[in-house]
Structure 1
Amino acid sequence: MATLKRGSRGAEVKELQSLLHRLGYNPGTADGIFGLKTLQAVIQFQNDSGLSLDGVVGPITWQALQSKDQGYQIYTVQSGDTFYKIALKFNLSLSSLIAANPGVNPNQIRIGQQMLIPKTQPKPVLIRSVGGWIPYWLQTQAFRSVQNHPDMFQNLSPFWYEVKASGEIIKYPGAEDNSILSFARTQGIKIIPLITNAFSSEQISAVLNDPIIRQYHVNNIVKLLRQFNYDGIDINYENLFVSDREIFVIFLQELKIALAAIGKQLIVTVHAKPDPFGDWSGSEAHDYLGIGQAGDAVRIMGYDFHWSGSEPGPIAPADWIDRVLAYAVTTIPKSKIVLGVPTYGYDWPLELGQVGRGITYSYALSTARRYNTPIIEDIQQGPHFIYRANEVVHEVWFIDATSFAPLLDLVNKYDIKGIVIWYLGAEDPKIYDVIQTSFR
């Protein structure tokens, strides 16, 4: 295309004006005359696209115009529209709609205004299932991760409920958030909320060992799934008494029958272990064989090899995960096994009696920069570093995309169902590139 500027005339100017119109700018009538209105429209487009504001349509501006024209359609704002409603209407993430309209204030759209709607791309075909846990204490940030990568997820499990000793189910703050439910359903993502026992052995034991309370709890789960039309439930009952090993499986069998009757899935989350016993009572109490028979899927928490109360060290070393999966596939069908993969880290103060604090990937990076300390990269164990603050030495271990990748390689090695991310909102953004590379 020829280089055009104010005063230019002809068919190419007319094509430019039509193109600007399609992209939501106003160059005036498409009359083939590069006048003041066309100049103003070109400069506005250059400003929105981060180009030089010279008003000249040369090769770079032509390329930007044609690129946007091929990947977008025009939408005229209607009464009652908001950015969020428009994103839902076109099955888009909110972030992609905002990115496509850099010159539009999301809080000040008006009726009749034209916006660019990115043409949706088909979901990447992944050979593994990808899910994510949404913690209630980081719900807004975690939901943003989903909005930014809706094509990645087949299911989401918001951390919304707790079982009490009475068999009642209580809600955590932010539970049943309609924005999450609406967005997930628009994107075709299954919602399978999580119920926890708050790590209380006594709390869940009271439910499991009383047939009346146990049935009451099953009925409450069924009622909850029907009320919100959830796709299933994630039973995350941790730190069980070893004496409750068998009755827990019986409970799951009873729950499975009740859920199958209404077409809902039973997901069970279990402690990771490389043998039938593991290294503590909670892992021993999870009977992989019985749980694998009862559940539609079994999520193995492949993290906290070192945890807040332990000495510093890797959170999900690849050699440990290898042993965990090697054992799991001997007791649970591969098609049911889902590996819980971590995204977070811990910061341990190296003082007597101090415990580690959970941190996000971004916090780890900012801390290393703040204290000007080098990060030791270790693909198999995870990145880590040491720093000193207020005369206290700290040791930090965390997960980045590089150390995340070997865990996905193990998922492929053992040919299991897929992964579930613990937890969304804490991750290195590059893990989504790793997922696509590993699972496509």
Structure 2
Amino acid sequence: MRIHVAASGDTLWAVARRYGTDMNQIILANQLDNPDVLVVGQALVIPEQGREYVVQPGDTLWAIAQRFGVPLQELAQVNQITNPALIFVGDMLVLPYFPYRVRQGDTLWQIARRFGTSMDRIVQVNQISNPAMLSVGQVLYIPREQRPVTEINAYITKTGEEGRSEVLALGRNFTYLSPFTYSIREDGTITEMREILVLEAARATGVAPLLVLTNFRDRSFDSDIAATILRSPELKETLITNIIETMEEKGYTGLNIDFEYVYPEDRENYNDFLRRTVARLRPAGYTVSTALAPKESADQAGLLYEAHDYAAHGEILDFVVIMTYEWGWAGGEPWAIAPINKVRDVLDYAVTEIPPAKIMMGIPLYGRDWKIPWQQGTFARTVSPKEAVQLAARYGVNIQYDEEYQSPFFRYVDASGQEHEVWFEDARSMQAKYETIKEYGLRGGSYWVLGSPFPQNWPVLRNNFTIEK
């Protein structure tokens, strides 16, 4: 897979020819509604011919395996497809092997080293009887290079049929699915959810569901309701009992606690609640994790940050999700949602308090459209990455890329004369995030939130990682 950034004068036909691939494969991989229009600065995912294949209408996994001469089981395994019937138009599949024609002077050792595999694996795949005897022009099938294994969590707010369809289509990319949200009540009970459809889809795609528990009430996080629970040992135990009953009933495999805007004086009360929760859930085989505000230091001031004790969470829990997004928040000035320099500032502190193998880095799947000049009290509109590119195309503006933030953006003027500024994510910005996960040796990444069309993300993810299941 390659990433191509459209330049002035580019056509899809010319781009396909440049990379030696099929134009229709590019259209499907990027879900291009109007292939005749490319925006200068638009990032495209380019499938590599002979190594990757994008599912077309009418395809079956069996037919694809036959077409490329690979065993069906191996094709399913390398793409982490648990049910061969669950493939979707636009899915970019990787092939277990790709062809290589032997050149003058090649040795099997050199070929294996060049493609990041082993001689034994090439010998096995090609049934070579004498590894020292290679012929110029001989076609060898090279096993796909192993990708590092990572864990991926995805939060989802649409828990009906729309959510079910999305999880079925994307589930092979996730380790965990986190339906948002169960909320706490003052008496230690929790609210109800109708999330059975997305839980069924998670099971069908080999994804472990996490019960998300928050202090969310009346469309915002409530400090007082958290204080009521956290300051009462009896209510803590009642709440844990109710959590376990719901997890057993619904088939959850773990708990993800997202308590936000907790009063600073409840910091130790929160830590105590976590210890009590782990003591009861871990022996029953459940994981326990939290979502943490993106802190850059232990003493960072603010109601969002002060009760989140990084060192304690790192010591008590199985893992944490650090919410490294929302710098460009809806009620603030235009900015990248997750500027990579700020994300790294958070991680630089986090790894001093929490083992990297317990950190899931938050990753946004959305962008925002602000009216400018920005005025206090106004709110940006949330847009998907796909919609952002469509906006740039509609208003005939180029997409720019901020190298410091590793984020695309553009400005446009609407029909009423109002100026706008849009920040969003694309294949390049996601590649920068995945490189960061690898560089810091993190457990993985966590998406907020499904439901925002972003076709380029999934092949970029797959090009970087094998997903832990």
1:437 is matched with 463
Question: In the alignment, does 2:214 pair up with 1:196?
Answer: yes
> Which one of 154, 157, 160 corresponds to residue 132 of structure 1?
154
Aligned residues of 2:177 and 2:208 also touching (Cα < 8 A): yes
- Residues 402 and 248 (structure 1), Cα distance of their counterparts in 2 relative to 1, 3 Å cut: same
Q: How much has 1:149 moved relative to structure 2? A: 3.3
- Matched residue of 1:290: which SS? helix
1:425 is matched with 451
- Matched residue of 2:172: which SS? helix
Would you tell me which structure has more helix in proportion to its own residues? 1
Q: How much has 1:147 moved relative to structure 2? A: 2.4
1:388 is matched with 413
> Which one of 223, 227, 235 corresponds to residue 257 of structure 2?
235
Q: For 2:457 and 2:323, how far apart are their aligned partners in 1?
A: 18
Q: How much has 1:370 moved relative to structure 2? A: 2.1
Q: For 1:98 and 1:361, how far apart are their aligned partners in 2?
A: 18
Q: For 1:128 and 1:89, how far apart are their aligned partners in 2?
A: 18
- Matched residue of 1:272: which SS? coil
Aligned residues of 2:392 and 2:399 also touching (Cα < 8 A): yes
Question: In the alignment, does 2:379 pair up with 1:360?
Answer: no
- Residues 232 and 388 (structure 1), Cα distance of their counterparts in 2 relative to 1, 3 Å cut: same
| Structure 1 residues 217-236: aligned runs within 5 Å | 217-236=239-258
Q: For 1:187 and 1:49, how far apart are their aligned partners in 2?
A: 21
> Which one of 161, 164, 177 corresponds to residue 196 of structure 2?
177
CA shift digits 1:286-335 (9 cap, x unpaired) = 00011112211111001011211111111111111111111111111122
CA shift digits 1:355-378 (9 cap, x unpaired) = 122221122122222222222123
Aligned residues of 2:171 and 2:206 also touching (Cα < 8 A): no
Q: How much has 1:250 moved relative to structure 2? A: 0.6
What is the CA RMSD across the aligned residues, in angstroms?
Answer: 3.2
Question: In the alignment, does 2:308 pair up with 1:286?
Answer: yes
CA shift digits 1:221-254 (9 cap, x unpaired) = 1111111221011101111111111111111111
Q: For 2:436 and 2:166, how far apart are their aligned partners in 1?
A: 24
| Structure 1 residues 93-132: aligned runs within 5 Å | 93=86, 95=88, 126-132=148-154
2:433 is matched with 407
Q: For 2:91 and 2:325, how far apart are their aligned partners in 1?
A: 35
Aligned residues of 2:365 and 2:447 also touching (Cα < 8 A): yes
Question: In the alignment, does 2:236 pair up with 1:214?
Answer: yes
Q: For 2:298 and 2:453, how far apart are their aligned partners in 1?
A: 31
TM-score (norm 1): 0.71
- Matched residue of 1:285: which SS? coil
Q: How much has 1:398 moved relative to structure 2? A: 0.9
- Residues 91 and 189 (structure 1), Cα distance of their counterparts in 2 relative to 1, 3 Å cut: farther
Aligned residues of 2:156 and 2:178 also touching (Cα < 8 A): yes
Corresponding letter in the other structure for 2:294: A
Larger RCO: 1 or 2 (CA < 8 Å, sep 6+): 2
Q: Which moved more, 1:244-253 or 1:423-432?
A: 423-432
Bigger Rg over Cα: 1
Corresponding letter in the other structure for 2:208: K
1:111 is matched with none
- Counting aligned pairs with the same residue, the percent is 29
Corresponding letter in the other structure for 1:248: Y
Q: How much has 1:279 moved relative to structure 2? A: 5.3
TM-score (norm 2): 0.66
1:274 is matched with 296
Q: For 1:226 and 1:164, how far apart are their aligned partners in 2?
A: 20
| Structure 1 residues 264-343: aligned runs within 5 Å | 264-278=286-300, 280-343=302-365
